[in-house]
A and B are shown apart, each in its own frame.
Chain A
Amino acid sequence: MRKTLMAIWLVLALSVPAAAQISEIRIADTTGDWGYPNAFRHYPRGPGYVRMSWVFDTLVWKDENGYVPGLARTWSFYPKIMAFAFELHPKAKWHDGRAVTADDVVFTISYFKKHPYGWISLDHVDRAEAKGPHQVVIRLTKPYAPFISDVGGTMPILPRHIWEKVDQPQAFDAPEAFIGSGPYRFKDFNKAQGTYLYEAFADHHLGRPRAERLIYVRSGKPLVSLATGEVDLANIQPEMAEPLRQKGMAIIQDERGWVKKLMINHKKPPFDDRRFRQALAHALNRQEIIDRSQRGFGTPASYGLLSLDHEMYNPDTPVYAHDPEKARALIAGLGYTKGADGILQREGRPLKVELLSSHITVGGQSVADRDGEVIKKQLEAVGLVVDLVNLEQATTDSKVKNWGFDLAVSGHGGISGDARILNEMISSQFGAGSVNSARYDANLELARLLDAQIPEMDVVKRKLLVQRIQVFHAEDLPAIPLYHPQSMAAYNPQKGIQWFFTRGGISKGVPIPQNKMALLR
């Protein structure tokens, strides 16, 4: 009996126009396990958050152009009373059928104040009040510009009637822990095989999701899985684009949301001198790094760290052209002389530098690359002695965190999201715990600007501040941004789903093309 039912179903699906229901969508992921999809159990990385985003909705969401309504239909900011007002979608429901009300939002804020959730910081939020079944006002203690991106667009709203009883969120793994208001219900996570199963939540307030079932599959070779039709969407290496295009796959390319950069231990001479760091910048030929390491698929990054596609990007951030002569001159200025063998040295000691490199995980995929080799070559051309040390990633990260390094090749995302990323990546006050943060507090003016931009609610004024921050970053160079690798994805158009890269990355800048809006169109 089941076989015939399936047959009818298929015929139906084919005949109905593209907007019709399709049985399942399979997405490939190389690593596989990213934790259970709820606020307290998913791994703190991008893919972990995205797996939760299917199940829990946020007040506001984003698509390829910008902000779109999430649970909240409209939202506005009242500068006088320093509060945001959100009007919830009347038809929004929890997966167990109960209606989503303002009380849930109020409860969620108070709950996250008591049990902090890493992705959002609520220290700027005073409290939230329900002004009616679907109106809620969130009052701030002091102005907080990234509120919409960080809190409104990232904070998952929890059902009060379930979580109010939970005082140990991390240990709470009953089925109700995964009841949200998102377009998909969470069905299964197989830890050994690294696979996830979601099923469509028919009466979601933004309409019935297009795919009946959503499945994450672990695949070491995305190209092969795509080509054989095992999966419908996967991140790919730039070179795979052409062969996949020939196989009829649609290729999409992200804006420049991820940056590869050279971390510098600016607490240790000679790196503590700004001119030495500038000399290093001149020594590096970033285009050659892109050509050699990424086969030309990539664009040099702005020395201001923010992505070139960011609306607050400062086009006239200082630039350091590749000029080995200038680099040698700058270093000579610091008392280094060139020895007979072409090696720079001071008081008889050669300028010896240790460069750490390891497999950086880009979008969840650990990839070997040749950045270290190219940088070593370029620095040695200027006269430094470079000792390239290739270690396992966790070992390199721990060395960088404890300042046990000279230079280190590193990289992170989030640079197309809210400008708050600058604070996290520069000042130790925000990013002391992060391995990618430069933790550079030497420039007081820069620190003042960083503190000023967070409360600046006026977008125009904030942009000026952010642009000056980028100039300072470019001049001081606590870390040298290198390039944005081209991150691409491919999907099977026959399925009738148009996937896209979210403008500014999902929530706080996650450069992954799995945006739930694609399945709600």
Chain B
Amino acid sequence: MHVDPFGKLQSDPWFLSGLGLALLLGLAVMLGPLAAPYDPHDMSFVPLASPSAAHWLGVNDGGMDIFVELLYGLRNTVAFGMAAGGLALVLAALIGMAAAWYGGWADAVFMRLADVLLAIPAVMILIVAAAFFRPVPLSLALLLALLTWPSTAKGIRAQALVVKNRRHILASRQMGASNARIIIRHLVPELFPFYLIAFAAKARMAMFMEATLAFLGLFDPSRKSLGLMISFALKYYYLDIWWNWLLPPVFVLSLLIMAVTFLAVSLEKRFDPRLQEAL
């Protein structure tokens, strides 16, 4: 796919802020654990101590340093969110596109499969799955992706149906292009704005699901994650732990989402040349 050279991109504010945030968080994920002053599982500090020189963000109820827990939690959450979000998007795009393009029985089968997955409450399947095999984060991310692709797939299918009969796609088919080539070369780029928005939504859902899973008791407490931190912090909502314990993970989560969404907005223009001069 012929992408516009990065000439105009440098000057686009959305792209710069999105990229800046992404780099900042990437740095934190990479270097964080190395720069962390303590071991995240070290519970030897005075519980619920307020922020001090030794503990920038104070200590949580279990006696662990909050700042260190934040750094380790960030890495796990980003990994979990990106894995689940990314996989869900890929599944949704391919299935949605194939359903729209092939139509007929393929469309019907895929969409009914989507309905089945939509109807069964995800919570129950997570519990059943957690009981049968160890809730390793990777397997949970995979499971989440398998459960959540249907809603995006339906959205993409609806749009692909509108694009499917554009003349330049028929022309490409007449030139002898195989189905796969047409889907990848012509159908996929056509819906680019939606992928980024869908990815942001799915990644967000995955990261917040961590908190819900911790809330339900399905998440291994010894694995640090932002969701777990939030769920434990909320137990002491009546103490004034808001500023040092609850706000940081929530703030970092929204930074993550902002990075993905800003990039989505900026790249929108790049992938649809017509938009450059629109209005």
Contacts and interface: CB of A to CB of B under 8 A. Distances in A.
A368 interface: yes
A367 interface: yes
Interface string A202-227: 00000000000000000001011000
B214 A368 contact: yes
A239 B218 contact: no
Contacts of B216: 392
A359 B47 contact: no
B235 A368 contact: yes
Interface in B217-241: 217-222, 231-232, 235-239
A292 B218 contact: no
A292 B63 contact: yes
B217 A391 contact: yes
B239 A395 contact: no
A371 to B, nearest CB: 10
Contact of B235 (A367, A373, A392, A395): A367
Interface string A356-398: 0111000000111010111011000000000011111101000
B130 A395 contact: yes
B63 A391 contact: no
A368 B231 contact: yes
Nearest to A393: B217
Given A377-B41, A391-B130, A292 B47 contact: yes
A295 interface: yes
Contact of A392 (B61, B62, B131): B131
A243 B238 contact: yes
Nearest to B130: A391
B139 to A, nearest CB: 14
B31 interface: no
Contacts of B222: 372-373, 376, 388
B48 A389 contact: no
Interface core residue of A293, A366, A370, A373 (most chain B CB under 10 Å): A370
Interface in A273-294: 291-293
A240 interface: yes
Interface core residue of B127, B135, B216, B220 (most chain A CB under 10 Å): B220
A373 B130 contact: no
B131 A391 contact: yes
A391 B48 contact: no
A359 B217 contact: yes
B220 A370 contact: no
A169 to B, nearest CB: 32
Interface core residue of B48, B215, B238 (most chain A CB under 10 Å): B238
Interface string B194-217: 000000000000000000001111
Closest 9 CB pairs of A and B: A359-B217, A370-B62, A395-B131, A223-B238, A390-B220, A292-B43, A388-B222, A292-B62, A392-B127
Interface of A: 221, 223-224, 237, 239-240, 243, 291-293, 295-296, 357-359, 366-368, 370, 372-374, 376-377, 388-393, 395
Interface of B: 41, 43, 47-48, 61-63, 127, 130-131, 134-135, 214-222, 231-232, 235-239
Given A239-B239, A370-B221, A389-B134, 4 more contacts: A243-B239, A292-B43, A373-B222, A392-B131
7 contacts: A295-B61, A370-B61, A373-B41, A376-B222, A388-B222, A391-B217, A391-B218
